[in-house]
Amino acid sequence: MSMTPKALMAEAVKARKRAYAPYSRFAVGAALLAKDGSVHLGCNVENASYGLTICAERNAVWKAVSEGVTEFTAIAVTARDGRGAPPCGSCRQVLHEFAPNMSVYWRDARGRILKRKLTELLPNAFNLADLRK
């Protein structure tokens, strides 16, 4: 099932409202689109022990997988207006585990939606096949 990047980004904007980011004050929202058309929202959740913080994108993946949804086609990510929010390296790796061919949308500092394939953002990713060679 498809959804426009703009519509998926609108869901990411909603997800961002739930961010728990009292330390960085950098709230992030993510909307993960599954093959079955379902959308799974995630926000960043920080912790007083800073390193335990989880990014919005991985939160969305954990939520979806926990509900039995593991096939994804796209993710949209947003920070506040004027700030770009391309997914961090850890989130790229986690997304790659489930959907190497997915599309990734994020907003640049001018609010335009940028679009890339995950394989462009994380070429030559480590994966299950490497473990089994």
- Which sequence positions are flagged as catalytic? 57
Q: To the nearest whole angstrom, how small is the minimum distance from the Cβ of residue 13 to ligand THU?
A: 14
Binding residues for ligand THU, per CB under 6 A?
A: 21, 24, 26, 28, 44, 46, 53, 55-57, 87-88, 91
Question: Cα angle vertex 34, ends 133, 15, to 5°?
Answer: 115
Cβ proximity to ligand THU: between 50 and 129 the closer is 50
Cβ proximity to ligand THU: between 44 and 73 the closer is 44
Q: To the nearest whole angstrom, how small is the minimum distance from the Cβ of residue 80 to ligand THU?
A: 11
Q: To the nearest whole angstrom, how small is the minimum distance from the Cβ of residue 120 to ligand THU?
A: 16
Q: To the nearest whole angstrom, how small is the minimum distance from the Cβ of residue 16 to ligand THU?
A: 9
Give dist(CA 63, CA 1) in Å, integer: 20
**DSSP states of 31-90:** EEEETTS-EEEEE-B--SSGGG-B-HHHHHHHHHHHTT---EEEEEEE-STT---PPPHH
Cβ proximity to ligand THU: between 53 and 93 the closer is 53
Q: For the chain, what percentages of helix, strand and coil (3-state, to nearest 5) are there?
A: 35, 25, 45
Cβ proximity to ligand THU: between 1 and 47 the closer is 47
For the chain, how many residues are written?
Answer: 133
